Every structure is written in C-alpha cells, then in structure tokens.
Structure 1
C-alpha cells in the first residue's frame, strides 16, 4: 500500500491574496525592464575570483588589471562584473531595459543623468538609488556576446518511457557550464518601500509573497519578483527581496543544463576544496533544483535548473515563511544558508540588530521575533 506523505501540505503558495493585501504590481510603472543584466561586485583579488569562477562554470568575457567580466554560455551581456577594490562587497544589480528610450525616460523621471557605458560593455545606462540606498543600474543596447557551447541535457529513461537504448550515462565531474544569470536575492531594512520602488519604477511584478509566522496581518516580509513581458513566460523570480536588520546581498543564482550537470559540477567544486552551503534539493517558490556554494570571499552562489516560468496573467501566491518550507525535498536548510552559522556574516547581522531596532525603518521588535521564529521552524 502506498503511504502519502502530507508533511508539505500547506507549504505551497497557490492560495492568493486577501482583499486589501498588497497587489504585487504597479498600475502605471515608469518603465518595464525585460530581464536582469548582470551583478557588480568589488574584490581585492581578481585572480582568485577568476579561479573560482572557472570552477563554478563561468567563461571570462573581459579581463583587465582592474576588472573581470564573467559570462554564461547563452548569448547576451556578461552576467557578473568584478572590479578590483580594497574590500569584498556587492555593488548592485543591473537590469536590461527594452530600449534606450526607457533608460532616458527613467533618468528623466528621477532627475538623474544617463551615460554611455564602457566600450567593452556598450550601450547606455543610468545609476539610481532605491529607498534603502542600494545602487540599481538600468542599461540598454549593450553588446551581446554570441552563444558558446553548452552542456547537452541528458536523455532519461523515465517510468515506462524508454528513450535511451544501448547507451550509458556518464556525466563528467567537471565544471557545470553556467548558461545565464537567473536571479539575485537582496535583504532590505525598508523592504516594503524597496519593493514598491521596484514595482513602480521598473515594472516588476510579484510571483509569491511570504509572511512571518502569525504576522500575515502586518503584510509580507519576502517577495519573489519577475519581469513583466506580457504573454511571454519569464523566470518565476528575477529578483527576490526579504526584510532584515540591514540591507545586503543574500545570494545569486545561475542556470545550468540539468540535474546531472548540477550534481557533477558540485562534485568538481567539492574536490577542489570549495565550501558547500546547502543542497541538492528542489525549492517550493520557483520549483528549481538548487545547490548552494560559497566563493572565496564568502558570497553565496547557486547552481539551479528546471525553474518555473510564468507569464503576466498569474496573481501572487501567499505562504508563511518557514525554514522547512524552503524546499520540497532535500536536506534541511543549513545554518550556513540561513545565516546563523558562526562567522563574520552572522556576526555582522547580529551587531546590526540593535541599531536597526532604534532606527526609522521597517525592522521592529515584532519583526525580529518573527525572523527568529522562521530560523527555528
């Protein structure tokens, strides 16, 4: 007799919003960005950054004494730009506008100046600040690098369907070829203000909201946000945002071909001594298969495959935020992934809390208690 496990009942967020809750989109955004373009970092050691990048599956698109641009195998702009700096830090995300006129419209609306980007990137861009102070770039007409060779997806024999005969499966323990940047997750101490800014100015729309346990009446504390391309399906989330005691980078995610590429690529990273954070598993919001790693500077990066694609017709789902609700299957979320393992990052987070509770932001004592409840769930 089959026994059905109901432990995940209620964790999926197919239920929608209630009357009066956040609608998850703006009625009249200034522009509608089409995708995430790249992420920008500063690091003191570009050579070490390149060694890890190649092991993770990136290809170098541009290199100088002060800059390293990393790309995926699919055609497009670089997906990570690393500039030499005195310390390691996340600078901000860049989003692709539909046209240069949208960049100019956004610049004019916010009273800032658009500029030509460096020759090796091409196009135009504008730098703006969202309410929590984080830098956001919007770009257009950047150079599109041609496609590179990708890892072919494996042919699987599944159930009663036989598609592979007289052939074996031998995925090599080699770098999982990064195909593209999928999303970035950011924390903000002014989460709702930052969320509304992205919806109102960049035309992003929410796929799923999460709220702290027992605090739905106070509104959401995390959102998974996608681009609005109308009837064209796009990633479930290009940006995810969550409430916390300080504004910071959480992680970024990069698509690979399939589960075999992800798993074998992880074995390659493990053999080289890189630090595994969490995985392999399948998320709930977004459904992607995931595997998380730390780069030499401590930044959390994700290999993913098989993510959801939504068009603009779907309304936001709502669910309670819990640690156990982060995955449909896989090992429990680790202390490292949750940010509570002993170390510099968790210490910075802890030291930021007293100041956050005294400051004029959205992180108050009730929210702190809700966040602690999430970590214990």
Structure 2
C-alpha cells in the first residue's frame, strides 16, 4: 500500500490496488510532443452478416437507430454528437475505431505528419477525416466537423436515500425492466501482438496518455502488457480510459463499453436482455482500474459489449499507476470473472485464440514463451 505523501508528491492515483507508480526508466505513459491530441472516441464500425438481427440486439441493449441506408445502420446514444456504432453488411469482423479531433486544423497537422490525406466524409456523416493504420494493421480514423446529432430524452438516475441522507420522501423506487438507454460510447479494448509498438503509436499520433499500466506477475522488468489510456484534455477531466490495449497472441477486438444512467438502469436493462434471450458474459460488478460498475454481454455475432456507469474521470495531471495483471484483480466486487469473459470457454473464440498462441510464437512480434506463461498465470489467478 502506498502513502498519501507519495500521491501528493508525484500526482499518482496509487492506492490499495496499484503499485507506487513508474520506476526509473519505465514507460512514462505519454509522448513528449504528440502530433495532435484527440478529444474523444467518436464511433466504432463493425461488419455483420445480418443487420436486422444486429439492430434488434442493439435496441434491446439500449441504442437508438440514427440512420439506415443500404448495407448500413447507424446506432446512437442519447447524448448529442456522432453515432456510437456504425454497422455495415459483411462477414463478421471489427472494422476499426474513429476518434474526434479537436478541430479541422488537427487533421491537416496529422496528415502532414503521416503522409496521409484529408478526405471528405460521406454526407450522412459530414466533415472530413484522416485515415491511418496502426502497427497492428487496424484502420484508425480521425474526424472533425461531422454532423452533430441532437440530444435525445435521457434515462434519469434514480433519486436515492443514501446513508442517512433523505432525498426521497413519500416516494418509492420502481425502475422499469426495459432497455438501459445508452448515453454514449465510452471506450474500446484492443489486443495486439505488437502491443508496445501500438501503444507508442497512439500516444505519439493521437496524444493519448496512460492512466494505468498492468504487467504479468514476475515480468515487470519486461514492461507492461496492458494499458488503460485516456484523452489529454488538459485541466478538463476525461474518462479513465477511452482506449485500452493488451498484449496477446493475435490482433483482435476485445470489447467496447457504453455508458448508462446508473446502477438501476444497468441492472434493470440486464434483466430485459435476459428476458429477450441474450447472453450475459460477466457481471454485475465494479472494476478496479476505472472503477466502473459493469455488466458484459455477447451480441448475436459474438462481440463482447459492456454497459457501465460511475467511471473515474482524470485530468492531465495524474501519472500512471502500475499493478500486476490478475483475473481476480479485474473487479473490486462482483462474481468471479467467467470463462467466457476471459476467452477460455470452449467455443470458436477460444479455439482461435489457442491456434494463434502457437502461430504467434513463430512470427516476428512481441509474443514469446515467457509472455505465454505470464498469460496462463493470469487465467489461473
């Protein structure tokens, strides 16, 4: 456990669940002179073979359809802004994330630094974009000037009598069992065989900064194997992580997370999803890194998606925390992480991961036998 004096001196968020911060020579968690600093994550894109089934799940999960075109469905939350998710007709796969630039000048700066072009977006989205590819081969888009969807009526948090505080008198709590209205896209988690290289790419090109590093137990000398990364908005607080990255035997989407009003919205929305026959992967609980109350679900195509509420918000002053990666360290309270969530339940996903573990050992990347042993130790923890 760390002392309050250490936190005050170095500006870390070290506590019961985190080490004393970085050691001399370890990754600082930010680039000294990034090309730009993105404001937020804008949307994610997925290819799916059955858009009608995908849209049905999306409505049960709490999205609203913003627009439909041949081979495309745009899904949104209640917050004003861009759609959260764009679904495209095609073979099942994750197509990549889009980030929001601070302004159009940042697109020019990013294009000049990378040799990319600034291109107009389709009229249904508006604005302009720079399209890049990260070191894992994933398409990454940065946009500015896109159309702003108007705010929709939002699900309101319940008025709570907490402790001895009385805010509700002569009233009852009857949260309906209905979809938890998604407010916004919070973050995406990606796995890469080139984790360190990819991490540095996002910090340099998009100006993201690390909130927390995790490392395989006994392997801290080799550096981190997961990072929770936030936008650098200066003194304005940002989500604990907008992007999380982890080292693994193949490049893949892990999950994405969408904010809802409060615990009751999350829990009642989960009951609605169960009533509709959908699969809960893991939940309900509260995370350690990020502190979110969480609930994870599998959509009809096997993608993992999360409802969350009450996440941490950090400004630019906090330095990264460091902690060992363990399965038991994924939550402060809640049920144990399931085999499905950990990706070790029998099925298509775990089979693909197992095949990739062997294949990746023969290729030029950051995956090796020591890292494989570290990951197996995490699964057993």
- With normalisation by structure 2, the TM-score equals 0.95
**Is the aligned partner of 1:306 residue 2:310?**
yes
**Is the aligned partner of 1:217 residue 2:200?**
no
RMSD, aligned CA: 1.0
**Is the aligned partner of 1:252 residue 2:256?**
yes
Partner of 2:117 in structure 1? 113
**Is the aligned partner of 1:159 residue 2:163?**
yes
> Once the two structures are superposed, what CA deviation does each residue of 1:58-100 show, in whole Å capped at 9, x if it has no partner?
0111101210000000000001001111x11000000000011
**Is the aligned partner of 1:40 residue 2:53?**
no
Q: Distance in 1 between matches of 2:51 and 2:70?
A: 8
**Is the aligned partner of 1:347 residue 2:351?**
yes
The alignment covers a number of residue pairs equal to 368
Is the 1:11–1:320 Cα contact (8 Å) retained in structure 2?
no
Is the 1:46–1:68 Cα contact (8 Å) retained in structure 2?
yes
- With normalisation by structure 1, the TM-score equals 0.96
**Is the aligned partner of 1:241 residue 2:245?**
yes
SS in 1 for 2:112: helix
Aligned pair partner of 2:292 in 283, 288, 291: 288
Q: Distance in 1 between matches of 2:185 and 2:282?
A: 19
Is the 1:11–1:319 Cα contact (8 Å) retained in structure 2?
no
Is the 1:11–1:325 Cα contact (8 Å) retained in structure 2?
no
**Is the aligned partner of 1:226 residue 2:230?**
yes
Cα drift, residue 271 of structure 1: 0.3
Q: Distance in 2 between matches of 1:103 and 1:198?
A: 15
Moved runs in structure 1, 4+ residues, more than 4 A?
A: none
Is the 1:58–1:72 Cα contact (8 Å) retained in structure 2?
yes
Cα drift, residue 355 of structure 1: 1.3
Aligned pair partner of 1:328 in 326, 329, 332: 332
Aligned pair partner of 2:25 in 20, 26, 31: 20
Q: Distance in 1 between matches of 2:162 and 2:20?
A: 31
SS in 1 for 2:75: strand
**Is the aligned partner of 1:97 residue 2:108?**
no
Cα drift, residue 15 of structure 1: 2.4
Q: Distance in 1 between matches of 2:52 and 2:94?
A: 18
> Once the two structures are superposed, what CA deviation does each residue of 1:287-340 show, in whole Å capped at 9, x if it has no partner?
000000000000000000000000000000000000000000000000000000
SS in 1 for 2:214: strand
Is the 1:292–1:301 Cα contact (8 Å) retained in structure 2?
yes
Q: Which 5+ residue runs of structure 2 have no aligned equivalent?
A: 1-13
